[in-house]
Structure 1
Amino acid sequence: MNIIPALVIGFLFGFILQKIGASNPQKIIDMLRLKDFHLMKTILFAIGLSNLLLFTLLLLGIVDVSHLSIKSSYMGVIVGGGIMGLGWAISGFCPGTGLVALGEGRKDALSFVLGGTIGALLLTLVYEKIKDTVLFFDLGGKMTLAVTNVKGSPALFPAISGIFVAGGIGILFIIIAFILPDKK
């Protein structure tokens, strides 16, 4: 990807995160505690809409499927996801919102970003020693929910086109976003 479009997209994404309040850790914690659904509604709507747009563009041939990559499943993804989720719940930041909050000048975001950077550095330093452990055992390889034509990626539901599964999930997420109340 060319650096200019990437910077523009990143700036717009950060701007939107800041405008919807996602850079405020208390709003994220309230969402995770199921007290305030505003961010959850926004996230579900964004995921649903992007699902519909991406798979429609794939179906129309506007987006080339070769630009998509499906990552392999392995135990480290589950462990890492758990660690990230715990960090998200404790700090009120995820990587994107932490960077936006840092851009706002929040001091708590500085410690979050430094902690994430140190964690990434530590993983880089110990990777050679842990790469053959259970953390990196394959849990079934690359798989999609439905047929997407991504090479080497079998589908869990091989008789169904990806547009129908992604479209259904997208519509479901959008409906949930509209049904949820703003606050509990």
Structure 2
Amino acid sequence: MFPLHLTGIAEVLVTVVIGFWFGFILEQAGFGDCRNLAAQFYLSDMRVLKVMFSAIVTAMLLVFAASAIGWVDFEQIFVPPTYLAASVAGGLALGVGFIIGGYCPGTSLVSSATLKLDGVAFATGVAAGMFLFGLTSPYVEEFWTVTGALGRLTIFDWLGLDAGPIVLGVFLMAVGAFAAAEWAERRFQWAKPPVSAAANSRVVLRAFAAAGFILALVAAVIGQPDAERKIALQKARLDATIQSRKVFIDPAELLDLMYNNQVDRILLDVRNESDYNLFHLKDAIHTTIDEIDRYWRPRLTAEQLVVVMSNDERDAIEAWKHLAISRNLNAYILAGGVNRWCDVYFAGNLNVPGPEFGSQGDEEFRYADAFMKLRQCASAAVPVGLNIPGSPGTNIDVSRPDQKLVALRQFTPKIHLLKAVKAPGGGCGG
């Protein structure tokens, strides 16, 4: 599913091409002349609203219609994080500057490219403002980066609705805004006479409006894919990954990870609550697939490493699929589940199969009776004796055995971090 991820020279070339055509279209639309832009505020020439709203609504319709039919994965499209306080302050500053100077930063560069002196002066002021902001930003850093920080937030996330009705509503609002703009240009003619539209251009506009309405209906009627639809759309990729076993990690590798304080790890246990309460790995969080869809997947980032587990593998594989449909998440599965973990660190069987071999279990916790007896004798966290060669009678906490036990079992590392590990601490408090 699109979007494609470009790197290297391809990324540079695509950026240059898009930048060129963006500037070219702005110039062709008359955005390199401050008189056309200033006329927006006198309501006599509404080309700014028409051009920019056309671009925004067209992109919205194409993205969400394509997402509805499974051509585009919207979760893979970068949405700038929302900083509410900074957005309000920046919007006010930009608006005042636009009214006074007749340009915004982008249009001032377009004007400068055609050697208009007012555009050059405005662009120079923008550069000076950026320089001054860079000098003073440390003093107001918390305001810009913390106050009103809401992360990736869209209108439909905020309202708790599917994107489809929102898309249809925005499209209808755009049609209303265009009609209002046409009326304003006829009503307010003091800045400059309105340009009358040719008959053929009105036909083209109606055709585009009809096409837009169809796309909006597609997004609204079909709706955005839920987790199950995304899994179905990505079935070939997900099944191939599972069959390759490259996301299954050995109990020893997980134990090593549990002692790595430079990795932001999250352990998700999707077993039933009774088995979880009877025994679970240290720091493992009990959750359900529904909670993965509603809570975890929208909040997890590429900097975090997630390991899901069940008693065997069946339920963990299903939970992993609900995470893996977001390709910017780094998720793995505990090979053999909690049963294999207990085979190694409770029963002391160091020769159980590695992660290349799957578990055919029926998701029953095979050690339930043993841990029940331990609970009857003492607390749930009671250390148990392991019959490990060379260390007879060693007492360990099965939920997180001593780090030295990692070396007793060989494994091939499977974990690859999507982002760099945390910088190690230093100084007096490190």
Query: What TM-score bracket applies, with the shorter chain setting the length?
Result: 0.7 to 0.9
Change (3 A) 1:108 1:46: same
Percent identity of equivalent pairs: 24
Q: Which residue of 2 aligns with 1:20?
A: 29
Which one has a larger percent helix, Structure 1 or Structure 2?
A: 1
1 CA distance for matches of 2:45 and 2:81? Answer: 32
Identify the range of structure 1 (99-108 vs 61-70) with the bigger mean alpha-carbon deviation. 61-70
2 CA distance for matches of 1:60 and 1:16? Answer: 30
What code does the residue aligned with 2:159 have?
F
Identify the range of structure 1 (29-38 vs 55-64) with the bigger mean alpha-carbon deviation. 55-64
Matches within 5 A, 1:25-64: 25-64=34-73
How much does 1:108 deviate?
Answer: 1.0
Q: Which residue of 2 aligns with 1:150?
A: none
Find the residue that maps to 1:180 and give its secondary structure. helix
Q: Which residue of 2 aligns with 1:95?
A: 105
Structure 1: stretches of 5+ with no match in the other structure: 147-154
Contact 2:108-2:119 at 8 Å conserved across structures: yes
Structure 2: stretches of 5+ with no match in the other structure: 1-5, 189-430
Structure with higher Rg: it is 2
1 CA distance for matches of 2:138 and 2:180? Answer: 48
Spell out structure 1 runs of 4+ moving beyond 4 A: 134-137
How much does 1:96 deviate?
Answer: 1.5
Q: Which has the higher contact order (CA 8 A, sep 6+)?
A: 1
Q: After superposition, what is the alpha-carbon deviation per residue over 1:104-154, rounded to whole angstroms, capped at 9, x for unaligned?
A: 11111111111111111111122222213x4544326133211xxxxxxxx
Q: Which residue of 2 aligns with 1:177?
A: 178
Matches within 5 A, 1:1-184: 1=6, 2-64=11-73, 65-132=75-142, 134-139=143-148, 141-142=150-151, 143-146=153-156, 155-158=157-160, 160-178=161-179, 180-181=181-182, 182-183=185-186, 184=188
How much does 1:44 deviate?
Answer: 2.2
Contact 1:44-1:174 at 8 Å conserved across structures: no
TM-score (norm 1): 0.83
Cα RMSD of the aligned pairs, angstroms, is: 2.0
What code does the residue aligned with 2:23 have?
G
Change (3 A) 1:8 1:117: same
What code does the residue aligned with 2:95 have?
G
1 CA distance for matches of 2:49 and 2:28? Answer: 15
1 CA distance for matches of 2:133 and 2:78? Answer: 26
